[in-house]
Structure 1
Amino acid sequence: MIYLFHGEEEFGKSERIAALKAKLGDLAEMNAVTLDGRGLSREALLHHCDVPPFLGDYRLVVVEDLLTRLEKKGPDGKQPASSRDFLIWLADYLPTMPESTLLVFNESKKISARNPVLKAIQKLGERGEVALFETPKLKRGELARWVAQHARGKGVRLKPGVAEALATFIGPNLRIIDSELEKLALYAGDRPITQDDVRLMCPYAKEASIFDMVDALGNRRTPVAFRLLAQMRNQGAHPLYLLTMIVRQYRILIQVKDYMNQGMNLNDIASTLKLHPYPTEKAMRQARHYTPDQLQRIYDRLLDTDVAIKTGKLEANLALDMLVVELARVQ
């Protein structure tokens, strides 16, 4: 059986590969291999695919980003002849591969529909599968539907609004959503997970509240900022924790604003800051509310508040209240 799993959504692909590996049973470690396609030769691929399984029925061979590499164009804008030859050879080889081999092409990017290997796998009928894995889009409600469906598959019950909350707080990082569902299910036990559980147990919910408060400050909506601050206090958040998270968010905004002024795009900024594109995009929208000078003055004021609290000059909650009022008035 030959599989082509392609697209940027890694979690779904890893689950499929884990399920294939589970079919190998106790001999999985002996009969499974992962190959780096970025430097893989024909001879090495042929060797691993033609090796018979050890005391089992199947051998799993996972090849990562081979087709992505072979689709790349050279400096002249054309696909190298060696890459074309490799693809043609591979398309001819696949129908002759031993049926005891489960071959998976795990590609981090979407493969062209014209790719000869993709076409060859599609022609194999029941012996081949091509699956595109794309991250669900938050704005179309796809992500919340994915959360609800994934929870049902795990036997986890959700109260209304929980799927939407997790989708909003975490964004399109399916692996983290899966991890948070596991944690919330353990906490809730036999009962359904509620939105209060999410706010209590999910750190991303607290970060989202901080983001919303900073967003309210940027839009000069002081009452909304105070309401969000009160909510986080009622949930038991320590004043110094809240201040630390506010400082972190404004530090990100300063960096994002600087990179935006340099002409960097979303993906470049996310990669440089080692952030997921989802919170990076939100930060870019937020940074537009401020000038670089305003952000620097805010950051200096945050540091002054930190010193005032730690030296006992101001009581922590009073210091935060004064800070919120001042930040909403920054000109």
Structure 2
Amino acid sequence: MKTINEHIKQNSFVHVYLLYGKEQQAVRIYRNKLLKALLGTDSLDELKQDMNFSLFVGTPFDVSSAIEIASSYPFFAEKRVILIENSKAFSAENAGLAKCIRELPETNYVIFTEEEISSKKGLFEAIKEVGYVCEINEQPQGFIEGWIIKELSFSGKRISRTALDTLLNRTGMDMMRIKNEMDKLIAYKGEDTDIKVDDVLALVSENPQNQVFKMVDAMSEKKVDLAMQFYSDLLELKVAPQKILSLIERQMRILYQVKDLRSKGFSTNAIADSVKGIKYVNKLVNQASKFSMKEITDCMNDCVDLNLKSRTGALTDRMAVELIIVKYSQRSSTK
């Protein structure tokens, strides 16, 4: 993504970009940056009126038309831009489109956006060869905070530091969810400029992963009743038991990494740098210290085993979660 920013800063672009990954909100942000830099606006409604802009969305994808347009020079303009979104064009080699990409006129630019890439041959290889490929997944917290502040300012809103922390604590780093919650907050505040902690608490529901953290924390403290209460809260939030089981397993995998690095003498800052996508490292170190490594590995294995049993009907999914909570809320002599 730094490469895209550098291209824009220098006003020097490659002729084809592929932006893909799980964080689709960030994909859209960088797509819009490219559109604005190339054509002066990122408004698709405005661009649709431009005869030198073409948009292909979804399937079925008309490959022949895309090749024809991409091979044609712009009409009384310096640039022609073709935007191709969620086309599934990377599910096959697409030799014809790959050839077109390699032979684009100097005036033409093609931007692909996808959520997943199922084949990294043919078309993908062509773009990598002559253009720029950027996989965009979970973004750093600093980037997300800056984006939130900027988006809210566009709507005439400000958010306090504590309200921002509370928002991220409840949503996690999922930018799509954050965008939805921001839209709710903007509508809720009306003419009022300032978004406060109470506004976030009133409108934004708790992030299931945060609830699971609290539940696992109660398990680490061997407080089975409290852990069961957090489990009940998750069910009230309409989180499926199998999802809860997978979140417990995810939390244990993080604790495994944290505990392993801690045992090797890593500082909290070094752990934060080594384990991708984690927050509140001190809390994780503290939580990991209350489980033995055997408990953590056994819990991960039990989560997988019980998930399979619940899927095959050997026991209910609710019972699977309850067994994990009860078993790992019991005291162990080894840490």
Give the alignment's TM-score, normalised by structure 1: 0.52
2:158 aligns with: 157
For 2:43 and 2:177, the matched residues in 1 are separated by: 22
1:93 aligns with: 104
For 1:151 and 1:6, the matched residues in 2 are separated by: 25
Question: Highest CA radius of gyration, 1 or 2?
Answer: 1
SS of 1:172's equivalent in the other structure is: coil
For 1:286 and 1:192, the matched residues in 2 are separated by: 46
CA shift for structure 1 position 225: 4.3
For 1:117 and 1:289, the matched residues in 2 are separated by: 40
1:268 aligns with: none
CA shift for structure 1 position 180: 0.6
1:192 aligns with: 194
5+ residue gaps, structure 2, are 1-12, 36-41, 252-276, 279-283, 285-295, 308-314
Q: 1:242 aligns with which of 196, 208, 233?
A: 233
CA shift for structure 1 position 212: 3.9
Deviations 1:35-63 (A, max 9, x none): 5599764x432334467999x99986322
1:220 paired to 2:221: yes
2:28 aligns with: 14
Residue type of the alignment partner of 1:22: D
C-alpha contact 1:21 1:28 (8 A) present in aligned 2: no
Q: 1:4 aligns with which of 13, 17, 21?
A: 17
For 2:242 and 2:221, the matched residues in 1 are separated by: 19
C-alpha contact 1:65 1:106 (8 A) present in aligned 2: yes
For 2:148 and 2:18, the matched residues in 1 are separated by: 21
1:34 aligns with: 56
1:44 paired to 2:102: no
For 1:288 and 1:159, the matched residues in 2 are separated by: 39
CA shift for structure 1 position 160: 1.1
1:266 aligns with: none
Deviations 1:284-305 (A, max 9, x none): x8993894699979944999xx
Deviations 1:94-127 (A, max 9, x none): 3265xxxx64322446999x95545645xxxxxx
Q: How does 1:314-325 map to 2 (within 5 A)?
A: none
1:169 aligns with: 170
C-alpha contact 1:137 1:172 (8 A) present in aligned 2: yes
Residue type of the alignment partner of 2:195: I
For 2:169 and 2:85, the matched residues in 1 are separated by: 31
C-alpha contact 2:212 2:248 (8 A) present in aligned 1: no
SS of 1:62's equivalent in the other structure is: strand
SS of 1:95's equivalent in the other structure is: coil
CA shift for structure 1 position 159: 0.8
CA shift for structure 1 position 153: 4.2
C-alpha contact 1:4 1:131 (8 A) present in aligned 2: yes
Q: How does 1:68-217 map to 2 (within 5 A)?
A: 69=90, 83=95, 87-95=98-106, 97=108, 103-108=110-115, 116-117=126-127, 120=130, 132=134, 134-138=136-140, 141-189=142-190, 190-203=192-205, 205=206, 207=208, 210-217=211-218
May I ask how many residue pairs the two structures share in their alignment? 252
C-alpha contact 1:137 1:143 (8 A) present in aligned 2: yes
Q: Name the CA shift for 1:28/1:212 in 2 (closer, same or farther; >3 Å).
A: farther
C-alpha contact 1:38 1:64 (8 A) present in aligned 2: no
Amino-acid identity (%): 12
For 1:37 and 1:135, the matched residues in 2 are separated by: 23
For 1:195 and 1:4, the matched residues in 2 are separated by: 40
